[in-house]
Structure 1
Amino acid sequence: MNEIRNSAGERLDHHFHPAERRNSLLILGHGLTGNKDRPLLVAVAEGLAARGWPCLRISFAGNGESDGRFEDSCITKQVDDLKAVLDSVPDYVRIAYVGHSMGAALGVLTAAGDLRIRALVSLAGMTRTADFAAREFGGLVPGKDCIWEDEAFPLGEVLADDLKTIDSTLEAAARVVQPWLLIHGAADDVVPPDDSRAAHDAAVSEKRLLEIPGAGHVFDEASYLLVIDAVDAWLIAHFGPD
């Protein structure tokens, strides 16, 4: 893959996993405080590439080794990042987007208005963004405190305000026309499974909700294979076996 830059000129770090189906591409996006090298994204990309699906793991601006400041990173900006990635893909390629947590939220917002995404997969998808902000950051001061007490991730007003302004992705969920697979760990204590249930209920496209007993927010080695199996089957059903 060539260099990818967003509309602000920031370079987006990425890693490409080549595979047999050269007319398809799975783009994998991480969640809050994550990056392209989180174990879940690596495991899913490696597992699906081994089954013939080319995968592109990306770090949104301000995260990982991408350009930009974390303090400027938010869902709205990451939608712009994802569109820059979509712009870099040839028109003949069938694109599926696989997003985790906040990365799933921006996937819904993007797919609702961009048919270049042909299939959508949400892993532990965040739906009620304002509720998440109140639950996780309600007692924190933007510009002073850090997310989950990690000094590498200062809580900025940009992120706090964006989560509140978006409020929920449910309206966008009702506009998604692409086939949509939602997977959530039943033991997720960061983004409750009810977020995926609500999105599934709001969706009018072909859809499936898979809840994995015992799995938490970032899943684990025991559940990675279940995720890979489900995504592989979903893509075969909607992109075909070849």
Structure 2
Amino acid sequence: MKIEIKDANKHLASYIIMPEEEAKYILVACHGFRGGKENSGQLFEFAKKLNNIGIGVCAFDFSGCGESLGKFEDITLSRQVSDLKLVVDYLDNKYKLPIILLGRSFGGSTILAAYDTDNIVGYILWSTPVLLKETFSTIFKDDYLKLKNGSSVKINDDGDEFNLNPQLVQDFYNHDFILYLSNIEQKPVLVVHGLNDDVVDPKNAMIIKNYIKDCRLCLIKDADHRFANKEEEREEITLKWLKEKLNAIR
């Protein structure tokens, strides 16, 4: 089912994919930087697998991405946190089921920065940075300093150009990921990261592991940031972890 989750300021294009049998949980999937809710078409098969173990799925486009309203160039972590809160509140009110959060890359950063409430019962982090300043300064190089100093920039990424406003980088200084990790240290967390990730250094995964009591860390040999040709392995690890944790995280 394709819907809009919205309030006075946000219109978030979303898919809600529920199992035929009664769902016991809902998993909210948060895409990465410049990504989209379909995850390059991989969402739907993965959602079927989740439905088969009693988990409904909600995937949405953050503001300014995909089919959601807004300008991508205005992206900030705080804006994405606000988007996620709107989605979680909608699902909580409509379905009243425990919620599992899954984030890819910057979407993983978002779920950590969002908030911890009783209805969030687990976290899944794929290729997730917690060292945002270090990660994005490596990605943007000289443009990072321009953004930090208040200038907008045009980024060229493999021939694809997009604009960014300085609020993206300036907002990083409003977030404390050590605090966020400490806030969820009692919740189960799965971290899956590629050892060949040259976008988000695998040491980010180790930092998460060090702060979370119930954390399973899976470092995948020969996997890059996008898990090219390793997507199925990442999904199988995730499904296995969910099956093991379902009874424990009720």
Q: Name the CA shift for 1:150/1:160 in 2 (closer, same or farther; >3 Å).
A: farther
1:179 lines up with 2:188 in the alignment: yes
Equivalent of 2:155 in 146, 150, 165: 146
1:88-167 to structure 2, matched below 5 A, reads 88-90=90-92, 92-111=96-115, 113-140=116-143, 141-142=146-147, 143-146=152-155, 148=157, 153-166=162-175
Partners of 1:38 and 1:24 lie apart in 2 by 21
Range with bigger deviation, 168-177 or 131-140: 168-177
Aligned length: 237
Encode CA deviations 1:147-172: one digit per residue, 9 max, x unaligned: 63665531211112123443x52321
Structure 1 portions without partners, runs of 5+: none
Tell me by how many angstroms 1:93 deviates: 0.4
Structure-2 separation of matches of 1:80 and 1:29: 13
State, as a whole percentage, how many aligned pairs show the same letter: 24
Residues 1:208 and 2:222 are matched in the alignment: no
Which residue of structure 2 lines up, in the alignment, with residue 10 of structure 1?
A: 10
How far the C-alpha of 1:196 sits from its partner, in A, is 0.7
Give the 4+ runs in structure 1 shifted more than 6 A.
none
Structure 2, gaps ≥5 residues long? none
Check whether the contact 1:71–1:158 (CA below 8 A) recurs between aligned residues.
no
Q: Identify the residue that residue 56 of structure 1 maps to in structure 2.
A: 58
Measured at CA, do residues 44 and 197 of structure 1 come closer, stay the same or move farther in structure 2, by a change above 3 Å?
A: farther
* Paired position in structure 2 for 1:235: 242
TM-score (normalizing by structure 1):
0.88
Q: TM-score, normalised by structure 2?
A: 0.85
Structure number with higher relative contact order (C-alpha < 8 Å, ≥ 6 residues apart): 1
Superposition RMSD on alpha carbons, in Å? 2.3
Deviations 1:46-79 (A, max 9, x none): 4423444211111101111101111221111111
Query: CA 1:188/1:47 → structure 2, altered by over 3 Å: closer, same or farther?
Result: farther
Distance 1:198 1:40 in 2: 31
